[in-house]
Amino acid sequence: MPRNRAAPERPALTVDVVIFRLADERLETLLVRRGFPPFKGRWAIPGGFVHKNESLDAAARRELKEETGLEGIYLEQLYTFGDPKRDPRGRVVTVAYFALIPGTAAARAGDDAAEVGWYPLIKLPEIAFDHKNILQYALRRLRYKLEYSAIGFQLLPSEFTLAELQAAYEIILGEPLDKRNFRRRILEADVIEATGDYRSGTVGPRAALYRYRPDAVAEVKARRLFP
């Protein structure tokens, strides 16, 4: 390499964390209102720059805690977004993650976030950077994984009825599921177990409560749960 050739510009590295929950019979995501430029005052996915001696996973968990107060939750690496014009500050590559939490988990604003808010995926505010594209990709990944793994249980309380479980899957997938087929397949997958307790309703018989088996195999081999 010729010595007079200029070294290429090194891109900055960030992490962004898409957070999903089920609440009020809809799928919601947690957004933070930016307190500083660029896009000051606009909503964005929680995230920030990776520190020099920090792993990507550690950076994602740190940013999640600093901006929302959330910690100890399910977190999975999603995709890398590197469009040269995605950030007006210069060349910034981001590694996106997605997190799943029960609807009862509380979040608070912190660090450089002016405030936090839960928004339904079907009615998002104006969003900074390319974060709308990241959210759309995260939703596709969640729907795909829901069809062959037990990832959906991360969005549920520790105990649930089969009707509540089916409703959760229908909200995420955006389509109705046959009741008999759903129950047969979810029970055959052997990822849940009856607790022995029941939930009493105001109308009709009591509904049996189930929980996710912590020792269950997460992947359903050779077939999708819900075609």
Q: What pLDDT does 179 receive?
A: 94
**211: pLDDT strictly greater than 60:** yes
**77: pLDDT strictly greater than 90:** yes
* Section 173-202 average pLDDT: 88
Q: Please give the biggest Cα pair distance in the chain.
A: 81
How does DSSP assign 102-146, residue by residue? -TT------TTEEEEEEEETTS---BSTTHHHHHHHHHHHHHHHH
Tokens of 64: 């999640």
How does DSSP assign 49-71, residue by residue? EPPTT--HHHHHHHHHHHHH---
Inter-CA distances, 218 with 148, 185, 225, Å: 9, 14, 12
Average pLDDT score over the chain:
86
Question: Is 159 part of the annotated catalytic residue set?
Answer: no
Length of the chain: 227
* CATH superfamily, region 12-146: Nucleoside Triphosphate Pyrophosphohydrolase (3.90.79.10)
**14: pLDDT strictly greater than 70:** yes
Domain ranges of the chain: 12-146, 151-212
Q: What pLDDT does 111 receive?
A: 57
Domains 12-146 and 151-212 share a fold: no
Percentage of residues in the chain having pLDDT higher than 70: 86
Q: What pLDDT does 221 receive?
A: 43
- Look up the CATH number of domain 151-212: 1.10.10.10
Where does the pLDDT of residue 225 fall: very low under 50, low under 70, confident under 90, or very high at 90 and above?
low
**152: pLDDT strictly greater than 50:** yes
Q: Which residue has the higher pLDDT, 33 or 104?
A: 33
| From 115, 159, 175, 188, the catalytic residue | 115
Highest mean pLDDT among 62-71, 100-109, 133-142, 180-189: 133-142
Q: What pLDDT does 67 receive?
A: 85
Q: What pLDDT does 71 receive?
A: 87
**2: pLDDT strictly greater than 60:** no
pLDDT in tens, 96-115: 999 998 877 767 766 555 68
